[in-house]
Amino acid sequence: MNNDYLDPINSLHVPELADTTFAMDLLLRAKEGVRNIAVALTESASPDVRTLLRNQLMQGIAMHQEITELMINKKWFHPYELSEQYKLDQLSANNTLMIGKMNLFPVETNRKGMFDRTPDDH
Partner 1 sequence: MNPIIETLTGMDALSDQVVAMDLLISAKSGIRNYAMAVTEAGTPEIKEMLTRHLVEALDMHEQISTYMTEKGWYHAWDTNEQISLDLNNINTALNLPTL
Partner 2 sequence: MKYALHEVLEVHEMAAFKTTCLTKSKTMKGLVTDQLLKDIMQQDIDISTRQLQEYASILSNAKQ
**Does 72 engage in binding with partner 1 (CB under 8 A)?**
yes
Minimal distance, residue 94 CB to partner 1, in Å: 26
Rounded Cα distance between 120 and 122, Å, is 6
**Does 83 engage in binding with partner 2 (CB under 8 A)?**
no
Minimal distance, residue 81 CB to partner 2, in Å: 9
Q: Which of 98, 91, 85 is nearest to 16 (CA)?
A: 91
Which ranges in the chain belong to alpha helices (H)? 14-43, 47-73, 82-101
**Does 82 engage in binding with partner 2 (CB under 8 A)?**
yes
Nearer to partner 1, 44 or 96 (CB): 44
Q: Which residues contact 50 (CB under 8 A, 6 or more apart)?
A: 41, 44
Minimal distance, residue 17 CB to partner 1, in Å: 23
What 3-state class would DSSP assign to 114? Answer: coil
Rounded Cα distance between 94 and 71, Å, is 21
- Please choose which of partner 2, partner 1, none residue 38 contacts, taking the beta carbon within 5 to 8 angstroms, the exact cut-off set by kind: partner 1
* Binding positions for partner 1, rule: CB under 8 A: 30-31, 34-35, 37-39, 41-42, 45, 50, 54, 57-58, 61, 64-65, 68, 72, 79-80
* Binding positions for partner 2, rule: CB under 8 A: 79-80, 82
